[in-house]
Chain A
């Protein structure tokens, strides 16, 4: 969710400042990419939580949706909206999935969605940006930031890598600390299709 938002923001920045160069992707102009996009199911919302002694839990969310609106010449007002279903968490271990869905973590029966709404976009490079917005999970809303990097662009399709570090204690999900890190590292690949 949040990752998607970040990706959008990054795209916007990249489009706004193509002269910065040095990008792995040919950075299009903002006018070229302006428009409303829907996040496609081919996107990937992955996360990891480290643990003492090395290793940790890695997982992803299978159900999510979102849109982003890239406004030509007005990157700051571009919008990203993203939602995911915590019920769809997958770690490869059914017992861990059930624990994450339980009241100890997501409490997905009571809080069916986790959402992100962008509020501010800051360009950080020719093809990258930082998106700040409100992340709402388990009934708590906090300001969070995600780093977005443009990874692909082909006319109607655009893709971003979105990363961010979220302190789960802010959302009453800090069960298991300090055995498991308080930090959830998100690594998302957000793909958008222009409407």
Chain B
């Protein structure tokens, strides 16, 4: 069950930054590997790295998602209005869902493609295709969906990061520092406000 706390536990912090790093790397990789002028051999290799790290991102994001539902959540920072708190919650939920949804959409791209290129994660594990019909049209649709969701998530990451920096430099609260493990100034917030 959820337990309101004043700081994030180490697992949450590690998952947060690991997933953030992988997702940002995947978006950069995804952009580079889809440039029309890229060398075909390099492109193939980059696609396979993208799929390998995508599967890893899906695994970690699923753990993070379940963890966020079942375990610790922190109290909102002091001084946040109910509207700000609601916006923060919506942002966090959206990021948690997209962190799972974007790699799932990528898995669908590989699964519906008539090319049937295996997903051989890190050249170690064959990840089977999802049991879905294959067609060029389905591949094009899921490719578009994967890209739209990924770039939408990137936009949310910028907003999320901007909000954290705003809290740190303007509000001078510990919203940013506590995701780095800081707990020097535990935030005291009423249960009522936390639930709002």
Whether the Cβ atoms of A175 and B116 lie closer than 8 Å is no
How many angstroms between the C-alpha atoms of A52 and B120 in the bound complex?
8
Q: With A96-B115, A178-B120, A179-B117 in contact, is A52–B126 under 8 Å at CB?
A: yes
Q: Tally the A-B contacts, defined by beta carbons under 8 Å.
A: 36
Q: Mark A87-127, 1 if CB is under 8 A from B, else 0.
A: 00000010110010011100000000000000000000000
The answer to whether the Cβ of B133 comes within 8 Å of any Cβ in the partner chain is: no
Q: Which residues of A contact B196 (CB under 8 A)?
A: none
Other-chain residue from A51, A93, A102, A178 in contact with B40 (beta carbon distance below 8 A): A102
Main secondary structure of the interface of A (DSSP, over half): loop
| Residue A176 lies at the interface, judged by CB distance under 8 Å to chain B | yes
Residue in chain A with minimal CB distance to B123 = A178
Contacts of A53 in B (CB 8 A): 118, 120, 126, 128
A42 sits at the interface (CB 8 A): no
The range of chain B's interface size is 10 to 19
A139 at interface by CB-CB < 8 Å = no
Q: Is the CB–CB distance between A104 and B116 below 8 Å?
A: no
Q: Which of B99-118 contact A (CB under 8 A)?
A: 114-118
Distance A53 CA – B123 CA, assembled complex (angstroms): 12
Return A132 CB to nearest CB of chain B, in Å: 30
Tell whether, in the assembled complex, residue A104 and residue B40 are in contact, meaning their CB atoms are under 8 Å apart.
yes
| B115 surroundings in chain A (CB, below 8 A) | 93, 95-96
Q: Which residues of the partner chain B approach A155 to less than 8 Å between Cβ atoms?
A: none
**CA of A99 to CA of B45 in the docked complex: distance in angstroms?**
13
With a cutoff of 8 Å between Cβ atoms, the chain A residues found around residue B128 in the complex are 53
Chain B residues with CB below 8 A from A103, complex form: 39-41
A residues near B118, Cβ cutoff 8 Å: 51-53, 179
Complex CA–CA separation, A178 to B48 (angstroms): 11
Q: Are B114 and A99 in contact (CB under 8 A)?
A: no
Query: Quick check: B126 and A104 within 8 Å, CB to CB?
Result: no
- Residues of chain A with a CB closer than 8 A to B114's CB: 93
How near does chain A come to B130, taking the closest CB pair, in angstroms?
14
Whether B44 sits at the interface, judged by CB under 8 Å, is yes
Q: How far is the CB of B57 from chain A (nearest CB, A)?
A: 20
- Chain A residues with Cβ under 8 A from B39's Cβ? 103-104
CA–CA, A104 and B114, complex, Å: 20
| Min CB–CB distance A55 → chain B (angstroms) | 7
A53 CA to B126 CA in the complex, in Å?
7
User: Chain B: which residue is nearest A173 at the CB level?
Assistant: B41
Q: Give complex CA distance A176, B126 in Å.
A: 14
State A95–B115 Cα separation when bound (angstroms): 8
Q: Please give the residue numbers on chain A whose beta carbons come within 8 Å of chain B beta carbons, in ascending order.
A: 51-53, 55, 93, 95-96, 99, 102-104, 175-176, 178-179
3 closest Cβ pairs, A-B complex = A104-B41, A104-B40, A102-B40
Q: List 5 A-B contacts (CB under 8 A).
A: A52-B118, A53-B120, A99-B44, A175-B44, A175-B45
B residues in contact (CB < 8 Å) with A: 39-41, 44-45, 48, 114-118, 120, 123, 126, 128
- 12 more contacts with CB within 8 A, not counting A179-B48, A179-B123, are A52-B120, A95-B115, A96-B115, A99-B44, A102-B41, A103-B39, A103-B41, A104-B41, A104-B44, A175-B40, A175-B41, A179-B117
